[in-house]
Structure 1
């Protein structure tokens, strides 16, 4: 039967018709007369028997015609049946997708580059986001490719944003991208009272265009001056497992997604960063409840006096760096108890969390 379904278009058509009439019978059983129900069940059973018996094409067509006549005679027609069926299919698909997203797998994008090189987030050139107050960001210049190279970069998730001032004036506003579902359609800037359009702007991750491009409100631009010249590289997209932790607790070294809800404001608001109270983050888990954590001079995590090394599961790459080499951005370089972490260590022995 299964092989015939794959090999015969008639068998597939007959099977689909039988299931469709059976579904309509279930829908209308309470409003149909006993005679109608019996006639429909008989026609459905005859077609099912013909399929199971391996009837030839002519016999199947005869049973299909009989089922069609019976259905047309007894089933009550629906208004706008095509719309009804399309809406029904759409609702079922949405329900299944929401169920999978809620209980099993949830799509997640990496908003920043903090997990690189394990997971790549949204990054930009020049990078005006990774500097301390008062420092200048990376002023790297780049050329925008054309032709096949530009197409190749587009498929690799590379986007460019270039805006030149159309008139003399101050930067008055930078609007958020206008979205339809998950797609950015356009974004506008107001310079000197003139609207500047960016169509299909890229995803800026957890930051805004103004933050990534280093835009300053009320800054004056001359006509033709370059306001934005930005290269944005899309981050990784992955599925988050929402099922496993219902049956066991997280383990050290696993990459987890957590919400910042419940983190005290003193830890969320520092000189280095500002974290919203309802933001989702993706990080590698290094400490469990009740443990004493310490960052050693060689940039390893020490848990309850025991150093985590490359031999620890899930840390093979994390601690594969050369301790004699200075930390490097987007390379495995260990852990650094540097600027911005002071609130976490306040009132505790040096290097202990």
Structure 2
């Protein structure tokens, strides 16, 4: 299998050359490029041009990593040292610069992020039309997708089970202007070619959605074979068992690539650049905010708030305004957690505020 088939491009050629030039190791030129195509509980499979290897991060890579987010994940391109024996583990020595990275706040944590996939071109946000449809969750997922550097596409799955699929498409198009919205039924074959057309040769997509929305069924259809084991959804609550317990990258017949993984109930924002992605996911709110009287308007009850005025006029749903406010607060918290400099600045600001309060108290007491 050629590296180009796996999504290799000129930018990775440059990244590999730069890494080899910067390395002080005499063995750098003997490292082999490959892509992480399977991830299961920390065990990675890397596909090179010649064969696939079970691989683990070398000690040097672990030592130099600034955080867990610097370590290899599904979709990464790495330089590895093949094992001395054919059945041994390869050592990943270098993670090449990423084109994009999709990540979220780790479920159940406020201080750690989790990588979902790297080097993806398209993030397919899969939402079921059989009870899973939630505009607020779509807004959140769009924010994550924009932050990755990839292009989001919303897939409304199980369209054959919905009487109002066309209306749902219009609803999502209204809250996500410029984003492609596809009504798809993997079982009936509806919209499959539209999905395939967004993954030409060498382009990588990732399926993102909660459990039971039909991601694995869609992946199977794209692959034209039941390569992934699908499991039924509990009809009473539309929740599926976790069909996919690992993340895996597949090459499609037309040359594109698709990554499937476990369903995700939590999509917490994570990353210092989320405000940029919020501006894309909530472009209408940001445009309205330019008309607010105050630059630091919180868009709640401040005088002269153009956002609140739009809600009162009925041109902006209150639910969308409230979700924007919620995600904006979450983004600020995320930035403080992920950016050490921001954390230090936040602590300095807190100390300065506290010291200023003490100073005012002392001054007041002296004056009494």
TM-score w.r.t. length of structure 1:
0.25
TM-score w.r.t. length of structure 2:
0.24
Larger radius of gyration: 1
Greater per-residue helix proportion: 2
